[in-house]
Amino acid sequence: MTDRNTPATGGDGFAGRYRAAVAERGRLCAGIDPHPSLLEQWGLPVSVDGLRSFAQSCVAGLGPTAAVIKPQVAFFEAFGSAGFAVLEETIAGCRAAGALVLADAKRGDIGSTMAAYAAAWLEPAAPLCSDAVTVSPYLGFGALDPAVTLARTTGRGVFVLARTSNPDGTELQTAQVARTRTVAQSVVDAAAAVNADGSGTAGVVVGATREHGLDLSALAGPILSPGLGAQGASAADVAAVFADTADPAWLLPAASRAILAAGPGAADLAAAASTVRDQIEAALS
Ligand SMILES: O=c1ccn([C@@H]2O[C@H](COP(=O)(O)O)[C@@H](O)[C@H]2O)c(=O)[nH]1
């Protein structure tokens, strides 16, 4: 039997593990974003103890519910080493509950340093090892090679920022490369080249908040689409934005605050995530 959460090696790649998770739980990436304002809203102190209680509720409610869970690393990092300890527990708890964990760390650097980031987030023995990590291609897609290679050989994934959900990204991401295609399309095409082996190692990030103008039909990897809820996009917007431009099987809409507002009860978080997931599935059917 294949355990999608403990790949010894590449096996059938991240694509197989991703498909299994989504087939069982539906297309939703639930974010764990412990904003200080949310901790207060939940009646928790803005401290490491508050962070831990917040994360434990998320693990209990979202771990058995969502196909993919995306802890936003910044909110843990803000508490220093104690915050990283909570992040380790959160990653382990979500994976033990059967979810795939996508660490939203947005790493990207020259190749030699990228190898260290890859080891931190994707090396199976590393304390923060996740199933996938978000990466930034600003230093060149080729600079991501160490992460792509380690992900491929361990059945894990990288999600490369292509067309982000925030308005500030538009100018850079829609600039033309050699007058033939946008920067964002060049990122998608480079990810598609990685996925030519069928592994689905390279996902991309394309926000649901606006028309993206991308051709994602040849990607053959997951498309993380943040922006649902707090940033204004609806499940219907996801369907509209990706109509005729992407294989819906690869779409992974993401929401954080829209789900977390239902806390602190684990059952309430699970119900909120299920509602968002059902809206997505209905819109994409
Ligand atoms: O283009 C992007 C890439 C990443 N994000 C991250 O997703 C969540 C969104 O949180 P909401 O509460 O659902 O707005 C957050 O962690 C962002 O850093 C994104 O929004 N857009």
The interface predicted TM-score of the complex, written ipTM, equals 0.99
Average pLDDT, integer, range 33-58: 98
2 in any annotated domain: no
- Domains identified in the chain, total number: 1
The whole-angstrom distance between residue 267's C-alpha and the CA centroid of its chain comes to 23
Q: What is the pLDDT of residue 9?
A: 47
Any catalytic annotation for residue 70? no
199 in any annotated domain: yes
Residue by residue, DSSP assigns 120-133 as HHH-TTSTT--SEE
- Report which ligand 1 atom has the smallest distance to the Cα of 255: 13
Q: Rg of the chain over CA atoms, in angstroms?
A: 18
Average pLDDT, integer, range 174-197: 97
174 in any annotated domain: yes
Token pair of 57 as six digits: 């509720």
3 in any annotated domain: no
Q: What is the pLDDT of residue 12?
A: 72
Q: What is the pLDDT of residue 2?
A: 39
**Tens digit of each residue's pLDDT (9 = 90 or more) over 231-280:** 999 999 999 999 999 999 999 999 999 999 999 999 999 999 999 999 99
Among 5, 36, 106, 265, the active-site one is 106
Report the CATH number at residue 145.
3.20.20.70
29 in any annotated domain: yes
245 in any annotated domain: yes
CA–centroid distance, 72 to ligand 1, in Å, is: 8
| SS3 call for 264 | coil
7 in any annotated domain: no
CA-proximal residue: ligand 1, atom 6 (nearest): 226
Residue by residue, DSSP assigns 224-241 as EEE-BSTTSB-HHHHHHH
- Report which ligand 1 atom has the smallest distance to the Cα of 104: 16
For helices 80-96 and 48-62, give the axis angle rounded to 10 degrees. 10
Share of the chain above pLDDT 70, in %: 96
209 in any annotated domain: yes
- Which residues are within 8 A (CB) of 175 and not within 5 positions of it... i.e. 6 or more apart? 182, 183
Global pTM reads 0.97
Q: What is the pLDDT of residue 10?
A: 46
Token pair of 188 as six digits: 């998608």
Domain that residue 21 falls in: 13-284
